[in-house]
Amino acid sequence: MKNKIISLILNLFLIFIFTLQLNASEQAWNLAQEGNKIIIIRHSLAPGGGDPPGFKIDDCKTQRNLNKKGINQSKKIGKLFKKNKIPIDQILSSQWCRCKDTAKYAFGNFKEFKPLNSTFQSPFNKNEPKQLKELYNFVKKWEGKGRNLVLVTHYSIITAVTNAVPSSGEIVITDKNFEVLGTIQTD
């Protein structure tokens, strides 16, 4: 009897948590529908961490890339944007292949934007102050006119500007000051 009660309580707790997540996602989509938000997406699932030694930014074969689940996750992101009728001004991506592929599978068209490049490992970590300054300046001058700015980037950049700790494919919605307004899980 004790195990059944514990199991029932655990199931009710899980249902409660799931309901909270659904409500939070719905609220985040509603904010994005308003426009004039910065929507930051961590690249979809690309197993591993960092990049292999000696990787080349212009050679995807030398980088950590999306796997099949990551490609499907990217397509799901695009479908969620369409389903929720999210107005988009422009889509900018890191030059890393896993970010460009996330943007390509989700949205089709995008532009590369160097300030979104990873600063996770050496020697790129030395670029962080310059990249963040460029990113802040760009966003400060950006005028959404009712649409959103979509940034496809890396954990290191998202955490640096928002203090959020996103998982692969997670969507972080912020204002122009990078104050987090909501997040959406896509896995």
* SS3 readout for 60-92: HHHCCCCCHHHHHHHHHHHHHHHHCCCCEEEEE
Q: What is the pLDDT of residue 18?
A: 46
How many Cβ atoms are within 10 Å of 85's Cβ, its own excluded?
A: 9
Write the CA distances from 79 to 14, 19, 74, 134, 180, integer angstroms: 27, 22, 9, 30, 23
Which pLDDT band holds residue 165 (cuts at 50, 70, 90)?
very high
Residue 7 above 80 pLDDT?
no
Q: What is the pLDDT of residue 20?
A: 42
Which pLDDT band holds residue 4 (cuts at 50, 70, 90)?
low
Q: What is the pLDDT of residue 11?
A: 53
What is the spatial distance between Cα 28 and Cα 166, in angstroms, rounded to a whole number?
15
C-alpha closest to that of 158 among 40, 31, 43:
40
Q: What is the pLDDT of residue 98?
A: 98
Query: Over the stretch 29-85, which tens digit does the pLDDT of each residue have?
Result: 999 999 999 999 999 999 988 888 888 999 999 999 999 999 999 999 999 999 999
Q: Which two tokens stand for residue 75?
A: 């397509």
CB 94 within 8 A of CB 61: no
Q: Which two tokens stand for residue 110?
A: 């995008």
Which pLDDT band holds residue 5 (cuts at 50, 70, 90)?
low
| End-to-end Cα distance, the chain | 35
Q: What is the pLDDT of residue 54?
A: 86
